[in-house]
């Protein structure tokens, strides 16, 4: 059986407040996707889940996801993660 992978998750703004932490390292099974990670986070922190996901279970358009500094659009959440990846979760901000 392959070893688990470990990723670093960084939380920002209201997502940080909802998680009660700035960052953490999480372990996932090999082949886990970004969506798998988001579901794990939502299960650990329901308040974060309500920010990340809409009622129907799809990713909120008001969430910005980055993996290793690259913006991930909604269609990219099925990408596999690798050991050492850094995931940043931001709520979208509006201004004007």
Task: Please indicate, yes or no, if residue 96 is contained in any of the structural domains.
Answer: no
Q: What is the CATH number of the domain that holds 76?
A: 3.10.20.30
Task: Please indicate, yes or no, if residue 71 is contained in any of the structural domains.
Answer: yes
Q: What is the reported pLDDT for 95?
A: 53
Among the residues of the chain, which ranges form H helices?
A: 13-19, 34-44, 46-52
| C-alpha–C-alpha distance, residues 55 and 32, integer Å | 23
- Contact between 26 and 37 (Cβ < 8 Å): yes
Structural domains of the chain, count: 1
Please, which residues have CB within 8 angstroms of residue 14's CB and are 6 or more apart in sequence? 51, 91
Task: Please indicate, yes or no, if residue 59 is contained in any of the structural domains.
Answer: yes
Going by pLDDT thresholds of 50, 70 and 90, the confidence category of residue 75 is confident
pTM: 0.91
Domain, as residue range, for 50: 5-91
């Amino acid at each position: 059986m392959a070893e688990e992978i470990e990723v670093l998750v960084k939380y920002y703004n209201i997502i940080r407040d909802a998680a009660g932490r700035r960052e953490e390292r999480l372990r996932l099974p090999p082949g886990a996707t970004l969506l798998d990670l988001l579901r794990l986070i939502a299960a650990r922190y329901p308040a974060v889940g309500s920010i990340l996901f809409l009622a129907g279970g799809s990713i909120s358009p008001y969430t910005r996801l980055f993996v290793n500094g690259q913006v991930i659009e909604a269609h990219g959440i099925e990408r596999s993660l690798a050991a050492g990846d850094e995931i940043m979760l931001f709520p979208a901000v509006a201004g004007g």
